[in-house]
Structure 1
Amino acid sequence: MIKAENVTYKYTNQEGKDIFALKGINIEIKEGEFVAILGHNGSGKSTFAKHLNALLLPYDGTIYINGMDTKDEKNLWNIRQNAGMVFQNPDNQIVATIVEEDVAFGPENLGVKPEEIRKRVDEALLTVGMFEYRKHSPHLLSGGQKQRVAIAGILAMKPRCIILDEPTAMLDPSGRKEVIETIKKLNKEEKITIVLITHYMDEAVNADRIYVMEEGHVVMEGTPKEVFSKVDEIKALGLDVPQVTELAHLLADEGINIPNDILTVDEMVVELCRLK
């Protein structure tokens, strides 16, 4: 679904100096995968996300979306139909005064027939659990509900891949949970490829694979268990690990026979019961 080959991106800062935000990125994401990209502010993860929808184009190297080169202008329309973007602030993506009209905005712009739009809007709202709010005004919704409406607006365009750039950064814990559950459902039940950019380690636990970025480079890749078991390496990059993983790491340091790749509370309970 996504292939980045030696992707480099630079911009010029206010002092006229060239800054390289991406430096030779190589990433492959298969159709149907759930991939999380981690990194602290300035690591290049959001810059990379914008390349996946051709909002930014590589200075050097190539990005293919479903086999289409993002630098080829004639592919732009199809790329953005294949790969939808959800941003950090849902208010920046909501354009209408009624929820169902907002969800219809994307397919309308694609020239979809009215009867098909009606069907797509209802399906998208049902999928994200917002159908009962279809006649509501978006400004009356909670942050988590707004973000689910924004996701429904992308879903209505029938993408094969959704890129989410820190979609929960502005939400409270309840809103975060709503959005992450929606993302997991889209991946597992709808088989949509998910690329989640996040700095919340607990969200990345749900991914099939994780890429960790630092200063424009990919510095770590693997399954959540493989990546988060390297607690000291992750912390050296200025990142955290899931709290339960850190607890397992501390217990192991104290000589307790417990795996260091525990990711969830349930896994920790099983191990503690085994020790007992």
Structure 2
Amino acid sequence: MPEILSAKGVTFGYLKEDNELNIVLKNISLSIQEGELVAILGHNGSGKSTIAKHFNAILVPQEGKVTACGIDTKNEEEIYRIRQQVGMVFQNPDNQIVATIVEEDVAFGPENLGIAPAEIRRRVDEALKDVGMYEYKDHAPHQLSGGQKQRIAIAGIIAMRPRCIILDEPTAMLDPKGRREVLTTIRKLNKEHNITVVLITHYMEEAAQCDRVVVMNDGELLFDSTPRDVFSHVQILKEVGLDVPQTTELCHELRRAGINLPDDILTEEECVEALTSLLEGVR
């Protein structure tokens, strides 16, 4: 698969009141391939949102190089083209909804790209169907639930036909139902439309459903592997202030109690199967 996002030796810091730099990215190198569904985890201040903003050219590295769809993000003349291909969805959908009618909001991005009206109509309808919100196209966004608003925000991005979508904690303000709705939408876009997705999240169950998990700690990469491999390092993750999926946590505690279980169990089904096998062996 071709590379779609790349960070090579990236260092970045925010200026503090005393004019010193608070370094939040330390020589980060990370490559994301087209079509991947990648979760980025880390405690507050780990640098996960900062690296996401680099991929969308909201921020540019002070040292090193970032490319998005092959374009150097430091090239100011290409920012518009980067934003066309790499969309970003933020934590609070209210910050991205700009119109008083759902379909008008989804049309906002394509209109700014100068797309023909007939094509905008087609894209808006398709995007709303993709996120399961077509029946709400004439509704007022402020009357929708949090999960529905977030799906409208995602529809507004996919109507611009990006190759990649970066979501910065899109479910942080949602209830469990809203989180499930948004995650289902994200997985559908990735699997059915081959849109590359980078999901910044602090929900371990969401990360466990991704193809790959990147863990950041104090501005550095701690892990970059499959969910099964990353979440097998329960103790290390806890030491850096992160949780693991509940099933993984349960199996970890059972192993500590002397029960012989595999250390890479990730799903409830795998846990049930492993415990059933143990109990049958005891009979």
Given the two structures, how large is their TM-score scaled by the length of structure 1?
Answer: 0.98
Of 70, 75, 86, 2:78 maps to 75
CA shift for structure 1 position 74: 2.1
* 1:271 equivalent in structure 2: 274
Matched with 1:194 is 197
- Find out whether 1:219 has 2:222 as its counterpart: yes
Distance in 2 (CA, whole Å) between partners of 1:253 and 1:138 is 49
Deviation at 1:256, TM superposition (A): 1.7
Determine the C-alpha separation between the residues in 2 that align with 1:246 and 1:161.
32
Answer with 155-164 or 69-78: which moved more: 69-78
Give the partner amino acid of 2:187. Answer: K
- How far residue 14 of structure 1 moved from its aligned partner, in angstroms, is 2.0
Task: Find the counterpart in structure 2 of residue 119 from structure 1.
Answer: 122
Using the alignment, how far apart are the partners of 2:17 and 2:111 within structure 1? 39
Match of 1:210 in 2: 213
Quote the Cα distance in structure 1 between the aligned partners of 2:103 and 2:277: 51
* Residue-by-residue CA offset, 1:201-224 (whole Å, 9 max, x unaligned): 111001111111111111111100
User: Secondary structure in 2 aligned to 1:26?
Assistant: strand
- Aligned position for 1:110: 113
Residue 11 of structure 2, aligned match among 8, 31, 37: 8
Deviating runs (4+, > 3 A) in structure 1? none
Find the aligned partners of 1:16 and 1:3 in 2 and give their Cα distance: 29
Amino acid at match of 1:263: L
Cα deviation for residue 75 of structure 1 reads 1.7
- The residue type equivalent to 2:259 in the other structure is I
- TM-score (ref. length: structure 2): 0.96
Indicate the residue corresponding to 1:182 in structure 2: 185
* 1:260 matches 2:258: no
- Structure 2 regions of 5+ residues with no counterpart? none
In the alignment, the residues of structure 1 paired with residue 20 and residue 76 of structure 2 have an alpha-carbon distance, to the nearest angstrom, of 28
CA distance in structure 1 between the aligned counterparts of 2:16 and 2:100, rounded to whole angstroms: 38
CA distance in 2, matches of 1:14, 1:100: 43
**Equivalent AA in structure 2 for residue 210 of structure 1:** V
Q: Secondary structure at the match of 2:193?
A: coil
Distance 1:266 1:182 in 2: 23
Quote the Cα distance in structure 1 between the aligned partners of 2:210 and 2:25.
Answer: 23
Cα offset for 1:126? 0.1
- Give the aligned partner of residue 250 of structure 1: 253
After TM superposition, the structure 1 stretch with the greater mean CA deviation from structure 2, 46-55 or 93-102, is 46-55
In the alignment, the residues of structure 1 paired with residue 12 and residue 246 of structure 2 have an alpha-carbon distance, to the nearest angstrom, of: 34
Counterpart-to-counterpart distance in 1, 2:129 and 2:273: 36
Measured in 2, the distance between the counterparts of 1:266 and 1:104 equals: 42
- For 2:71 and 2:15, how far apart are their aligned partners in 1? 28
**1:228 aligned to which of 222, 226, 231:** 231
Counterpart position of 1:97: 100
SS of alignment partner, residue 162 of structure 2: coil
Supply the distance in 2 between the matched residues of 1:194 and 1:128 (Cα, whole angstroms). 15
1:72 deviates by 0.8
Alpha-carbon distance, 1:17 to partner? 1.9
Query: Which of the residues 126, 139, 148 maps onto 1:145?
Result: 148
Please name the residue that 2:49 is paired with.
Answer: 46
Q: How far off its partner does 1:66 sit?
A: 1.4
Aligned-CA RMSD value: 0.8
> Matches of 1:11 and 1:255 in 2, distance apart?
47
User: Match for 1:196: what amino acid?
Assistant: L
Following the alignment from structure 2 to structure 1, what is the Cα–Cα distance between the partners of residues 239 and 89?
A: 30
Q: CA deviation at 1:15?
A: 2.8
